[in-house]
Copies of this chain bind each other. A is one copy, B any other.
Amino acid sequence: MKIIIIGGVAGGTTAAAKARRNDKTAEIKIFEADQDISYSGCALPYYISNKITDRAEVVPRNAAFFKQKYNVDVFTSHRVLEIKPEVKQIAIENLTTHEFFSESYDKLLISTGAVSTVLPIDGSDKENVFYLRTVANADKIRRFISEVTPKNVVIVGTGFIGMELAESFSTRGIKVTMVELAPHVMPTLDKEMSEYLEEYLRGQKIGLVTGDSAAKFVGSPLVNKVILKSGRELATDFVIMAVGIKPNISLAQKANVQLGTTGAIQVNTKMETSIKDIYACGDCAESFSIITGKVFYRPLGSTANKMGRVAGDQMTGGNLEFHGGLGTGIFKVLDMTVAQIGLTEKEALREGYEVIVSHDRKPDKPKYYGGQEMFIKAVADSKTGRVLGAQIIGPAGVDKRIDIFATAITFGAKAEDLTNLDLAYSPPFSTAKDPVIFTGMILSKG
């Protein structure tokens, strides 16, 4: 039994570890084009902010670790060039020696992750236009900051990465201006939540330009000005492109592995692709919504881990299945936490639900214990009462409430069910009626 895994970040390494726990004798090899494996992509903004100064914290495990702990052979700086399903082989290039060789497989896992979306903007090939996806990307940004000591940055895009980097640069004393094509920042949120976040960011001296986009990066050899579509000009010392990521599916596509409607690799709940003995997991694969049952693309490290565990189990004869996701997302920007789960109001309406919507502001704990208000919007189906989603913005306690929502929504909770939750109450931790319980009360009266 020989298992080959293409890609060694979250999904691939989790799959390898699970496969080894199930099967003590299988030959397991991981090929990774990058130099780093098993790193925490989500840690990169904190590496850039200098919250983490030791690179080893971001990349805690290397090939030797996997060999010793799991007897898994990891080949870094090895690019897989082709998958040949008809002969069950892959073609590989050693990026250091430029040697080419083949490997056969019994089971193959594609966990090639995602790549940053690149827009065809004039000047975007200049050296101070950065993307953030890999540790190498982060190394470059760190090096630039320490060499140049920039005063200003323009971040194009206001999603999770853009927001986390706004914090990273602000805490290093770099003035941040964010550019967003949509009318509001963080366009996955409903409008009023985005507006609330905008108000906070402006108060923190983060510059926000919305309803506009980068048209041209000007300057030589380095960009020193961003010209927007509106004609407005932003002087800057460097640029971050954070306009999203897309599944890295080129290998799969060449091998005629079926892609789904989202553009990512189509998989079933066993993480099987359309081709026998080829599996896929992580940011290159489609997921599906627990709420609607429909496929969606929600590339998240925590989801990649879950998918990897299933893939590793299935490749070794197990019967674990992937149960879908809720698109749970959370980020911290300075002193504010923003989280969302499930469907926003606009998404719920698009899906054809008649919705009940609640808005409330509740402290995370009593005022005398330092409680601070969070702003909660929740959405339920008016026909069944089922909770469909929530968005929360606040300085503290947001992560706990979104995880309560996550758990409740997973089990199909109705608004009234939230009011009955026997949550832990003591003044250092919450209020006697938790904000989630209040939300349930508001929704169930609607």
Enumerate chain A interface residues (CB-CB to B < 8 A).
Answer: 10, 40, 42-43, 46, 51-52, 54, 57, 164, 290, 300-303, 305-306, 309, 323-332, 337, 339, 341, 366-369, 399-400, 402-404, 406-408, 410-413, 417, 419-430, 432-434
Contact = CB atoms under 8 A, between A and B. Distances in A.
30 contacts: A46-B427, A57-B367, A164-B426, A300-B425, A302-B422, A302-B423, A302-B425, A302-B434, A303-B422, A306-B419, A325-B422, A326-B422, A328-B423, A328-B424, A328-B425, A330-B424, A330-B425, A330-B426, A330-B429, A331-B426, A332-B426, A332-B429, A337-B429, A339-B424, A399-B429, A404-B404, A406-B424, A407-B421, A408-B411, A410-B417
Question: Max chain B CB contacts within 10 Å: which of A10, A411, A422, A430?
Answer: A422
Contacts of A326: 422
Given A302-B422, A403-B403, A411-B412, 15 more contacts: A10-B432, A40-B427, A42-B432, A43-B368, A46-B427, A57-B368, A164-B426, A301-B432, A302-B433, A305-B432, A331-B426, A403-B423, A403-B424, A406-B421, A406-B422
A404 B58 CA distance: 28
- Stoichiometry, copies per complex: 2
Contacts of A327: 422
Contacts of A332: 426, 428-429
Contacts of A403: 400, 403-404, 421, 423-424, 434
A406 to B, nearest CB: 5
A337 B426 CA distance: 10
Contacts of A368: 43, 46, 51-52, 54, 57
Given A403-B404, A407-B407, A425-B301, A420 B306 contact: yes
Contact of A329 (B328, B402, B424, B433): B424
A418 to B, nearest CB: 9
Contact of A399 (B367, B413, B430): B430
Question: Max chain B CB contacts within 10 Å: which of A331, A339, A403?
Answer: A403
A146 B18 CA distance: 61
B40 A328 contact: no
A323 B414 CA distance: 14
A403 B424 CA distance: 6
CB-based closest 7 A-B pairs: A411-B411, A330-B424, A407-B407, A399-B429, A400-B400, A302-B425, A323-B420
Contacts of A433: 302, 305
